[in-house]
Amino acid sequence: MSKKVRVRFAPSPTGGLHLGGVRTVLFNYLFAKQNGGDFIVRIEDTDQTRFVDGAEDYIFKTLEWCGMVPDESPLHGGPFAPYRQSERKANYRKFADQLVADGFAYYAFDTTADLEAMRTEYKTPENPSPQYNHSLREKMRNSISLSAQEVTNLLAAGTPHVVRIKMPLNDTVSFNDMIRGEVSFNTAQVDDKVLLKADGMPTYHLAVVVDDYQMQITHAFRGEEWLPSAPVHLLLWKYLGWEAEMPQWAHLPLILKPDGNGKLSKRDGDRLGFPVFAMDWTDSKTNETTVGFKEHGFLPAAFVNLLAMLGWNDGSDQEIFTMQELIAKFSMDRVHKGGAKFDYEKAKWFNHEWIKKTPVAELVDHIKILFAQKNIAISNNDLLAKVIELVKDRCTVLPDFISQSSFFFEMPATVDIAAVKPKWDDKKNMFFTELIRAYELSNQWESHDLEREFKELSAANDLKPGELMLPLRIMLVGGKFGPGVFDIAALIGKEDTCKRIKDFLSLMQHS
């Protein structure tokens, strides 16, 4: 029987989640759900110097907003708790010691000053940043270069030390990446990474292997930036005797700028709102708070959809997918090896498609909140639903609903008189005065009734309806935009329609 699929997203709580990180979550999530497996979130917080307060909370809120709820996590619990590496600290030392005992790792007693001296002393034009590796390890203070007695004494005296992996001199380690196929590394190129720090905390390298093993992870999907670490991890799986249990790896391609020129940077991200939503903290360097996709008015379903399409497709032209469809159709072998270009205009296209596709009832709450933020209280949900139906095809991001429809709920803030004035004359003035009367007497208030009356009256006055429609729109809306003008009048009602026409006429008189 094959093992139950268990995948993990293993973020370090060092800041907000950006596109690449959330896409990693999504691919993990889709794979888990497709295979009836478990989706685990493990917080990799062993590097306390990079810890950002609030970041973990942010990660969970993001996942919730996207609809990707973990099966196991520090928040949701689970059989392999704790899921925060800092809380698993006591667990790692024995594996580091085991590696030393088996000759795969060693204790290193070098001080910061020793390390700095090494970097200066062995610096050459060919090797500007010397690494702690096979060529230098014998020259440093560690359990390889020192005698057994010295090492015992140093350890007995409680001398601060780290544990380093002893990278083999000239070995090839290979694995089969689910996206890239066979990937090989020469071990000589990798330095002797620290596995356990002087404070007893493991580094990422040791912790990720121990935890993936103990949490019975079957597949590990992570960003391409982790590919250079893979040889260290592969060797650790082997050295700890767990090779048969090693998860299958997939390293996801980078996300590139729209022109494909380079990796999408944090700066591009901040400019375009790439974090999923605003962070509760300000950037310590720029002192700026960032807004994200949520604040820019993206729907979660659209965001998930556009993320999935960053580097994946189902082999057809289909671009709009629900989460359920993605779960059914996702496959790792259709993820491209090359970087995926992120284009903000295309992202907005996805959102527009999703706004059109989303039932009005589901949009009502989102839009009501936006109006409330603008101090426009909406008491009539039926009216709001009708308005949303009328304008949704014109809205690309949610705040567009405000600009496209606030005039339904309050008088237009400004009225573009200049757009009407050049062609305004007494005849038109007369027409609208009569229109007010006709509308006031009208006992039918449907869009087609209003249009019929409007056209009959314009014919009687020998005016072209086409020339009168723009002024009517400006009167009701304030500017040259919005859905069908009689649809607007029908929704704002008799009283408001007549009032807006009257106000406009008096404004014209005094302008």
Of 88-127, which residues contact ligand GLU (CB under 6 A)?
none
Q: Does 251 bind ligand GLU (CB under 6 A)?
A: no
Task: Closer to ligand GLU by CB, 11 or 275: give it.
Answer: 11
Distance CA 94, CA 85 (A): 15
Q: Does 471 bind ligand GLU (CB under 6 A)?
A: no
Contact predicate 277/293, CB 8 Å: yes
Residue 325: closest CA among 30, 29, 37: 30
Which residue has the closest beta carbon to ligand GLU?
A: 222
Q: Does 28 bind ligand GLU (CB under 6 A)?
A: no
- Interface residue with ligand GLU, options 6, 30, 33, 44 (CB under 6 A): 44
What are the strands of the beta sheet with 162-165, ordered from one edge? 105-108, 162-165, 194-196
CB of 83 to ligand GLU, least distance (A): 13
CB of 176 to ligand GLU, least distance (A): 17
Count of residues that interact with ligand GLU, criterion CB under 6 A: 8
CB of 48 to ligand GLU, least distance (A): 14
Out of 61, 89, 257, 266, pick the active-site residue. Answer: 266
From 6-14, 29-37, 69-77, 123-131, give the range in contact with ligand GLU by CB under 6 A.
Answer: 6-14
Contact predicate 58/279, CB 8 Å: yes
Task: Closer to ligand GLU by CB, 11 or 202: give it.
Answer: 11
The residues, any chain, with a CB within 8 Å of residue 187's CB and separated by 6 or more, are: 167, 168, 169, 170, 171, 172, 173, 231, 235
For residue 382, which amino acid is it?
Answer: D
Task: Closer to ligand GLU by CB, 11 or 292: give it.
Answer: 11
The residues, any chain, with a CB within 8 Å of residue 62's CB and separated by 6 or more, are: 17, 22, 276, 277
From 10-18, 271-279, 331-339, 369-377, give the range in contact with ligand GLU by CB under 6 A.
Answer: 10-18
CB of 96 to ligand GLU, least distance (A): 18
Neighbours of 31 (CB within 10 A): 22
From 9-17, 52-60, 171-179, 191-199, give the range in contact with ligand GLU by CB under 6 A.
Answer: 9-17
Residue 275: exposed, middle, or buried by beta-carbon count in 10 A (0-12, 13-18, 19+)?
buried
- Cα 283 to chain centroid distance, Å, stands at 18
- Interface residue with ligand GLU, options 6, 7, 11, 406 (CB under 6 A): 11
- Cα 51 to chain centroid distance, Å, stands at 20
CB of 86 to ligand GLU, least distance (A): 13
Q: Which two tokens stand for residue 435?
A: 């229109």
Return the bridge partners of 183, or none: 175
Residue 207 CA: distances (Å) to CA of 132, 197, 202: 21, 11, 6
Contact code string over 155-194 relative to ligand GLU, x by CB under 6 A: ----------------------------------------
Distance CA 466, CA 459 (A): 11
Task: Closer to ligand GLU by CB, 249 or 321: give it.
Answer: 249
Neighbours of 44 (CB within 10 A): 20
Distance CA 259, CA 440 (A): 57
Task: Closer to ligand GLU by CB, 100 or 234: give it.
Answer: 234
Task: Closer to ligand GLU by CB, 145 or 229: give it.
Answer: 229
Of 200-239, which residues contact ligand GLU (CB under 6 A)?
204, 208, 222, 226
Distance CA 386, CA 367 (A): 12
144: left (phi over 0), alpha (psi -120 to 50) or beta: alpha
266 part of the active site: yes
- Interface residue with ligand GLU, options 12, 187, 290, 404 (CB under 6 A): 12
Please give the helix or strand (H or E) that residue 347 lies within, else none.
helix 344-357
Task: Closer to ligand GLU by CB, 44 or 224: give it.
Answer: 44
CB of 309 to ligand GLU, least distance (A): 22
Task: Closer to ligand GLU by CB, 12 or 133: give it.
Answer: 12
CB of 202 to ligand GLU, least distance (A): 12
Tally the C-alpha atoms within 13 A of residue 164's C-alpha that lie toward its C-beta: 24
Helix (H, G, I), strand (E, B) or coil at 376: coil
From 7-15, 369-377, 424-432, 499-507, give the range in contact with ligand GLU by CB under 6 A.
Answer: 7-15
CB of 85 to ligand GLU, least distance (A): 9
Q: Report the catalytic residues.
A: 266
Chain positions contacting ligand GLU, by CB under 6 A: 10-12, 44, 204, 208, 222, 226
